[in-house]
Structure formats: C-alpha cells, structure tokens
Amino acid sequence: MRKVTVFNHVSLDGYFTDKNSDMSWAHANDDPEWNAFTAENAKGGGLLLFGRKTYEMMAGYWPTPAAIKQFPEIAEGMNSQPKVVFSRTLDKAAWKNTKLVKSDPSAEVRKMKKESGKDMVIMGSGTIVSQLAQAGLIDELQIVVNPIIVGEGRTLFEGVKNKVPLKETKTRTFKNGSVLMCYEPKV
C-alpha cells in the first residue's frame, strides 16, 4: 500500500501561514546544512499532492528560471515529479506532469493508496492535510518548526474535529534553528 507523507513548516507559535497567507518566513533561515537536506529530500520522488492555493504558488515558482538557477536540484524534482492538484475551482492544471482532481480528496487518496506506485507527499495544502488527517489517511508527518513567531495565521490542522494520537519517530535540529520533527499515527 502506498504511503502518504506530509512535509510542512510551522512557526514556533504553531502557524503554517501568517495572517496574510504568507509562508516566505519558512525559507528565510537557509544554511548549507539545511540546503543539503532539502535537496536530498527533493530527490525522494513520489507523487506530489496539492490543494489549489499551494499548487498555484508552487507552479508559479518552480518552473521559473530564478528557481532553476537558485535551487537546481529541488527545481528539477518539483518540475519532473508527477503531481495531483485537488480543486473544485481550477479549470486546468498547466504545470508539467499535473493531474487535476475535482472530486473529494479523501476518497481519491484512499483509492490512490491502494494502487501500485510511488508514495505520495503533501507540501503546504493545509485544507487537504486537515481532511486527510481527519480521515486517517496520513502515514507520516514531517513538520519543520521554524524559529519565528508570526502572531496569527492558519494552523496546519484547522478543522480537525477528533484527536489524532501520534508517536515520534525522529527529530533533527539544524544550524539555522529549524527543528524537523517526524511522527506516525499511533495504531
């Protein structure tokens, strides 16, 4: 069975976007160790899952000459990997290797998990993360806590109604002050 992993950034006060839906603060503390980690992580492959907002942000950046010049390995992975965008409002998905799905994300991911193929990764896409967490469809959470307080914004699990008990599997602290925390659901 295919696995679903979430890779997301949060502020120290628990927000994944600030009150203006900005998340640029999550990438402001680059250092060589962090850059090596993200480049290696991008090589993991798999199927990328996005909600509309994150898809539009990613599709507007990763194919650009600036992204390719600044982060060549990550841009290569992001542009070449297969992608699914869940949206009821998009008419088409123009980013290379992207499939547009207008149906219920939980039902579609439940079906995709049973199919053969590479594992799936969600980045950003808070609404999709919340829906899949509530449905018990997330197999691993990789959360990067960033050394910043943003005051207000959106939490990653906004709308989750039931508790989702987790167990820690790994942590890693980077020189830039970011901390990677990995969890799996308790079974």
- The domains of the chain are located at 4-185
Q: Indicate the fold that domain 4-185 takes in CATH.
A: Dihydrofolate Reductase, subunit A (3.40.430)
Q: Is the pTM of this model over 0.85?
A: yes
Mean pLDDT, the chain cut into blocks of 10 residues (187 residues total)? 94 93 79 82 82 93 93 88 95 95 96 94 90 94 95 91 93 93 93
In contact, 28 and 22? CB cutoff 8 Å: no
pLDDT at 24: 85
Write the CB contacts of 91 (distance below 8 Å, at least 6 apart in sequence). none
Show the DSSP H helices in 8-104 as ranges.
32-42, 52-59, 65-70, 72-80
pLDDT at 170: 97
Which residues, listed in sequence order, are joined to residue 10 by a DSSP beta bridge? 145
Indicate the SS3 state at residue 177: coil
> Taking the CB of residue 115, how many other CB atoms lie within 10 A of it?
9
pLDDT at 126: 87
